[in-house]
């Protein structure tokens, strides 16, 4: 179970089948942020892409997590320090341990064999956001450090500084997430879409954020697609739209499925807030 995946991953998250997921598992924290209660402490998991989102680590903490297992991330997040910053921030923000292993290859050998591009740098971060142990060299290695769960619990119960949970203003934070950004139920009645179609949703979402003033679009300057401002971004988006329009239904989504329509009632950051994808009876 991953709550967030990279857009190139052809897979489904609970958010993509929200209504069915809630019907089967409920809408409580256990349904989306499961935590295992173990003798060594309460353990939750963030997988790869999930580690980019502070809300997901907070969800685990609010469900009792004391140790967050965060396996893997890819380059260029390792060599640029993003991996380390995220691991320390997730630990500090939630006063929990973060155990972060990672596969190590980010070079090629003499024969030109190339492993999956990750970058290593496994680490254990304590509940104060300090790195307890890390490995920066290449090759197989292991990281070990004490996990002082009693110290963590004492800190959460007594510390006046760097102890964040008691200060959470939940009513205030709710305003930040009142409007939907990425629509739910995208795979409720069809297989998860492939990269080109998912990219179109991605760029539509960016456009809504810009149209509602959440983000300011870049100046229209020349440059390669994806890095050259509005013109370049528009060019990339037009390419994706053209590619999607050229694709047949089976190429976009796999096996034939019923035609769909999007229905919604409220506002989602400029679009529908409560969005549902349902079979289009008229189209059939």
**Residue-range domains of the chain with CATH:** 33-176 (3.60.110.10), 179-279 (no CATH)
More confident call, 86 vs 284: 86
Among the residue ranges 59-68, 153-162, 164-173, 240-249, the one predicted with the least confidence is: 240-249
**In the structure encoding, which two tokens stand for residue 228, read together?**
């050259």
The per-residue pLDDT for 10 is: 82
**pLDDT computed for residue 193 by the predictor:** 77
In the predicted model, what is the mean pLDDT of residues 146-165?
97
Q: How far apart are CA 73 and CA 101, in angstroms?
A: 9
State the average pLDDT over residues 72-77.
82
CA distance 79 to 41: 31
pLDDT of 180 > 60? The answer is yes
State residue 225's pLDDT score.
40
Residue 5: is its pLDDT beyond 60? yes
In this prediction, residue 74 carries a pLDDT of 80
Q: Which of 74-83, 87-96, 151-160 has the lowest mean pLDDT?
A: 74-83
Taking only the tens place, the pLDDT of each residue in 212-248 is 999 999 987 433 344 444 444 455 555 545 554 554 4
Provide the pLDDT confidence category of residue 284 given band limits of 50, 70 and 90.
very low
Q: Is the pLDDT of residue 254 over 50?
A: no
Instruction: Return d(Cα 260, Cα 191) in angstroms, integer.
Output: 12
Span 260-279, pLDDT tens digits: 444 444 444 444 444 444 44
Query: With b meaning 16 or more CB within 10 Å and e meaning fewer, what string describes 212-236?
Result: eeeeeeeeeeeeeeeebeeebbbbb
Instruction: Single out the residue of 228, 223, 92 nearest to residue 156, CA to CA.
Output: 92
Q: What are phi and psi of 82, to 5 degrees?
A: -65, -45
What mean pLDDT value characterizes the chain? Answer: 81
Indicate whether 207 pLDDT > 70.
yes
Q: Are strands 97-100 and 67-69 parallel, antiparallel or unpaired?
A: parallel
Give the three-class secondary structure for 122.
coil
Instruction: Give the per-residue pLDDT at 109.
Output: 64
pLDDT at position 106, please? 53
Q: Please determine, for residue 189, whether its predicted confidence score (pLDDT) is greater than 50.
A: yes
Q: Is the pLDDT of residue 19 over 80?
A: yes
Cα distances (angstroms) measured from residue 157 to each of 6, 66, 67, 154, 170? 37, 13, 16, 5, 20
* CA pair distance 137, 283, nearest whole angstrom: 58
Cβ neighbours for 153, distance < 8 A, ≥ 6 positions apart: 66
- Residue 110 structure tokens: 């003499």
């Amino acid at each position: 179970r991953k709550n967030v995946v990279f857009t190139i991953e052809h897979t489904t998250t609970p958010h993509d089948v929200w209504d069915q997921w809630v019907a089967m598992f409920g809408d409580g924290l256990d349904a989306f942020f499961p935590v295992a209660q173990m003798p060594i402490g309460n353990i939750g998991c963030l997988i790869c892409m999930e580690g980019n989102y502070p809300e997901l680590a907070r969800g685990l903490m609010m469900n009792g997590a004391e140790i967050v297992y965060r396996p893997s991330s890819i380059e260029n997040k390792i060599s640029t320090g993003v991996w380390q910053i995220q691991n320390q921030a997730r630990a500090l923000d939630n006063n929990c341990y973060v155990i972060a292993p990672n596969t190590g290859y980010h070079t090629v050998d003499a024969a030109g064999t190339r492993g999956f591009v990750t970058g290593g740098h496994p680490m254990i971060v304590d509940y104060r956001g300090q790195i307890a142990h890390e490995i920066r060299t290449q090759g197989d290695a292991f990281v070990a450090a004490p996990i002082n769960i009693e110290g963590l619990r004492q800190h959460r119960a007594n510390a006046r500084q760097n102890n964040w949970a008691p200060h959470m203003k939940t009513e205030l934070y709710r305003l930040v997430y009142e409007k939907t950004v990425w629509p739910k139920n995208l795979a409720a009645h069809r297989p998860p879409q492939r990269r080109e179609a998912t990219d179109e949703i991605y760029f539509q979402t960016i456009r809504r954020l810009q149209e509602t003033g959440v983000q300011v679009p870049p100046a229209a300057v020349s440059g390669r697609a994806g890095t050259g401002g509005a013109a370049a971004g528009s060019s990339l988006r037009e390419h994706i739209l053209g590619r999607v329009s050229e694709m047949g239904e089976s190429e976009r989504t796999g096996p034939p499925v019923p035609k769909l329509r999007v229905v919604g009632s409220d506002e989602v950051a400029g679009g529908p807030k409560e969005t549902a994808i349902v079979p289009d009876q008229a189209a059939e």
